[in-house]
Structure 1
Amino acid sequence: MKKSMDNLIIIAIFLLFAIGIGILLPPYFFQKNVQAIQINLTFITVALVLFLSYRGSYRNYIMAEKNLENNTNTIKEILHLTDIIIKIPNTEDLFDTILKKAVEIIKQAEKGSLIVLNMDNELEFKAVVGYDKEKIQNIKLNLEETFAYIKTNGQLTKPCIIRNISAFNEAVLDQSKYKALKSAEGLTVKTTLSCPIVIDGMLYGMINIDSSEINAFNNEDIDTMEFFSNQAGIVIKNHKLIDEVLYLSRHDSLTNVYNRRYFEELYLSFMEKTQESNRSFSLVYFDLDNLKNINDTFGHQAGDKAILSFVNTIKKNIRESDLLARYGGDEFIAIFFNADEESVKHRIHKIKRLLDTTPVYAHGKIVKVEFSYGIANYPEDNAELQNLIKKADKRMYEYKTNRLKDGA
């Protein structure tokens, strides 16, 4: 509809021009009417000005419309990122999604990488498109080695285009990094559009968009990537905030092990898989002995030290697949997968010996960290969490009573 209207306007202006010519020529050739010629020359001039002005405006309109379309597509991709941010489970998946979107929205983009600045001021490859990730992920670049840093004299605030990138890498990188990039097919590109990711005024990383064409990318692509990377920085920051909130909602603030609520969620989740695969596990209920007495005698800081000593010792002696959670003030719960009761007891007794040999000190005095425990087994004892806890809790009190009787 728009194009039809634009064509009609052009035709109308052209007709005005033609009418002017038609009015001008007869009096010029046949009547020599100077006044008529002057009038019609004015008419033609106006028509020409209108035509040329519209032609220029039309071109600008088309370019603006094209830019608007590109920006709209970019905004759509950003909005899509924002919509799915909560659904993306971890930062690595987020990096992959951001990079894929960047490659999609830039014409002539064939490959790409997203690199992030680590604590040692080195850039690590976190996501790639079109490259061998296994070969490239171990390469670390010094910030000063990057083409964007050198091209901008360290002013990494705007996107920049680097052409003949292979020659650049060969001249700047040491041989080991150059060979590693070559092995990962990182030297087949000819042009790179590099864009910084800035979060809270600090460089966080870069998005690099690559092409095998030497004349790939233009100022429009620079504008698009600048907008995209700004929004990507916001998305990454928000994702980190969500991660922090989720972590705090799932972990005990002192020990950083799972809290009771999240442990119960995990139990329901893995129980479905356990029943399907016929796996077994042992649930262990721990109770720290004399924690109240430690708090009353030496203060809560000493009590916290005792708790941390207990938890850290357990962490070092369970597998990554096992679970540990704080279930109450001095109560902890653990699940040991695919382990019989005897092997679990063996590990618990090892933990006891380690705690005996590494006591906690408070006000120059030794504070012994001791605990009682009870074990319930799946599937022998039950499948319901609360029933397993009741059985383990009962056995824990039996263990504590017998230990006190024996004076141990």
Structure 2
Amino acid sequence: MKKRISYNKFVRNTILLSISIVLAIFIIFGLYFKSISIDKSIKDDTQIMADLIFQNLYTVMKNGGDKQSLDETIEHLQKTVPHIKIEILKEENHLSNTHVDNSVFDFKEAVINKHDKHLDFSSPILFKAECIKCHSDSKVNDVAGIVHIEHPILDLKISLKDILIMAGTLLLIIVIVFFSTLYHYLNKYFVEPILNLAKQVKSTSSHHDLNTQISIETKIKELKLLEESFNQQNKELVSSYQTIVSQSNTDSLTKIFNRKKFDEYSSLFFSDAKRNSHNFSLVLIDLNKFKPINDTYGHDVGDEVLIFFTKLISQNIRETDFFFRIGGDEFILLLPENDKDSTQVVIKKIKENLKSNLFTFEDIKIELSASFGVCQFENSFKDINNMMKIADTNMYEDKKNYPRER
């Protein structure tokens, strides 16, 4: 048996799974976005700072400042931004500083080096045309030195724009992941099983289909309960249908076929005999002295007489014969593939059994008898009513043998 979970547990598991996926994406995306934002922020902001430092130094040198003036300017800048370490390195002494990447001199581009607690930004200072007057041994765009700036990681700041973009993107990812996960599992464990259930229910077009068990593949307990409820309901409907059919076709007192069933079967018998040249006998039976029995002993005893009479006749006919109660004390036999002689043998046997088996109820004992009217099928008959009229006439001829019972 497959393990099933309740709806509440399913929702809880789906939410927990969605949250786990979202958190994993949040962490991965956050680290990635943080790295990109820091690189961009450091590169942009520090480049501006490097340019400003260079402009300050250039202004000092342009105004005739010496090395001391330059050192004082750098010291002043350092005090302005105390959390950042600023150095000006020349090509001849940069090798003593392990934080500076040689590629700054080779490619003349800014370089960022990440460390555990800080970031190093190295930006080249290039000679301009006006610098060549004093540095005649150099060329324009040669590296004059490096502005080396060391940022503590904890003091790095991300712009509001980057924060909003990061937050908005993460929110969008959270919404997409959560609802995609929820949609997937709802569709798999609810929508598809319910659609399958609806399809099976819709395919039930007759009472015969109710015998087919409805089955849906799902781990949700509530949906399995729905499946079981449908199957139980179908089972009860089949039982109810069978009861209704039985009641509509069966005489409630004697439990044999009723007039409705006789009309149905006799029409089939007659059509089959006409079409395929089959033979059958129709026997109309009327219980003698039944009214006096009812008047003398009451209807309860009369009902018991009818039940006794029905059982006795049922015991003396074949399984292929059909026995009907068409009202009151009137009965009909349909005997397939019976000729007139065979039918008389059946009637004689019933009469003998009625004579030898007294009806006994409490202290009441009654010898029962019945009148029989037979009609053998002939191809010239138009319908079953022709046979009924002939059988009725013959039954009253038979009843003349019991003049005192009429």
**TM-score between both structures, scaled by the size of structure 1:** 0.59
Runs (5+) with no aligned partner, structure 2: 1-24, 47-154
Q: Which residue of 1 aligns with 2:148?
A: none
**Given the alignment of the two structures, is residue 30 of structure 1 paired with residue 153 of structure 2, yes or no?**
no
Q: CA deviation digits over 1:267-316, x for unaligned, max 9?
A: 22343333332211000000100000000111111211211111111111
Answer with 290-299 or 22-31: which moved more: 22-31
Q: Which residue of 1 aligns with 2:383?
A: 384
1:357, CA displacement in angstroms?
2.1
Q: Distance in 2 between matches of 1:270 and 1:368?
A: 34
**Residue 254 of structure 1 aligns to which amino acid in structure 2?**
L
1:402, CA displacement in angstroms?
3.4
Say which SS state the counterpart of residue 334 (structure 2) adopts.
strand
Q: Which residue of 2 aligns with 1:149?
A: none
Q: Which residue of 2 aligns with 1:229?
A: 228
**Residue 378 of structure 1 aligns to which amino acid in structure 2?**
F
| Aligned residues: CA RMSD | 3.1
Say which SS state the counterpart of residue 400 (structure 2) adopts.
helix
Q: How does 1:98-247 map to 2 (within 5 A)?
A: 98=213, 101-102=214-215, 105-106=216-217, 219-220=219-220, 224-247=223-246
1:367, CA displacement in angstroms?
1.3
Q: CA deviation digits over 1:16-57, x for unaligned, max 9?
A: 999998776432322159554365245314422431342132
| Residues 288, 368 of structure 2: 8 Å contact kept | yes
| Residues 281, 335 of structure 2: 8 Å contact kept | yes
| Residues 274, 280 of structure 1: 8 Å contact kept | yes
Q: 1:77 aligns with which of 177, 193, 200?
A: 200
Q: Which residue of 2 aligns with 1:302?
A: 301
Q: Which residue of 2 aligns with 1:192?
A: none
- Bigger relative CO (Cα 8 Å, ≥ 6 apart): 2
Q: 1:43 aligns with which of 159, 165, 172?
A: 165
Identity %: 26
| Residues 281, 340 of structure 2: 8 Å contact kept | yes
Q: CA deviation digits over 1:253-274, x for unaligned, max 9?
A: 1111121122112222343333
1:399, CA displacement in angstroms?
1.1
**Residue 80 of structure 1 aligns to which amino acid in structure 2?**
S
**Higher radius of gyration, 1 or 2:** 2
Count of aligned residue pairs for this structure pair? 270
Say which SS state the counterpart of residue 402 (structure 1) adopts.
coil
Change in 2 beyond 3 A, CA 1:399/1:389: same
Answer with 356-365 or 259-268: which moved more: 356-365
Q: Which residue of 1 aligns with 2:341?
A: 342
**Given the alignment of the two structures, is residue 56 of structure 1 paired with residue 178 of structure 2, yes or no?**
yes
| Residues 256, 323 of structure 2: 8 Å contact kept | yes
Say which SS state the counterpart of residue 401 (structure 2) adopts.
helix
1:237, CA displacement in angstroms?
0.5
| Residues 274, 379 of structure 2: 8 Å contact kept | no
Say which SS state the counterpart of residue 219 (structure 1) adopts.
coil
Q: Distance in 2 between matches of 1:301 and 1:395?
A: 30
Change in 2 beyond 3 A, CA 1:37/1:295: same
Q: CA deviation digits over 1:91-144, x for unaligned, max 9?
A: xx743x22xx53xx54xxxxxxxxxxxxxxxxxxxxxxxxxxxxxxxxxxxxxx
